[in-house]
Amino acid sequence: MLGEIHTLEHDFPAHKSEIHQLIANDDRFAEDNNRYNALDKQIRELELADSPISDEAMHQLKHQRSELKDSLYQRLITP
């Protein structure tokens, strides 16, 4: 769906407390989460503006977002 929000809190509501704890206590997690949210916002804005970039460029942005999300999720669920 175009323009859909993909923040960690939105996609993993059951882990909201853990997400906030990691953001507060793990500088690397917080930094990566900020990068992830900025990338998600950029993609959402481009989608809502009818993607004024090439399909390949959009694919690269979405791939970067996916890799960051996977990394953040692994750190979230790994004790």
> pTM score, two decimals?
0.88
The answer to whether residue 16 sits within a structural domain is yes
**Based on the structure, what is the number of domains in the chain?**
1
The answer to whether residue 3 sits within a structural domain is no
The answer to whether residue 1 sits within a structural domain is no
Note down the domain range covering 72: 8-77
Give percent above pLDDT 90 in the chain: 80
Rounded CA separation 5/44 (Å): 7
Residue 29 has pLDDT above 90, yes or no: yes
Per-residue pLDDT at 61 = 96
Per-residue pLDDT at 1 = 57
The answer to whether residue 47 sits within a structural domain is yes
| DSSP-assigned letters across all residues of 16-78 | HHHHHHHHHH-HHHHHHHHHHHHHHHHHHHHHHTT--S-HHHHHHHHHHHHHHHHHHHHHHH-
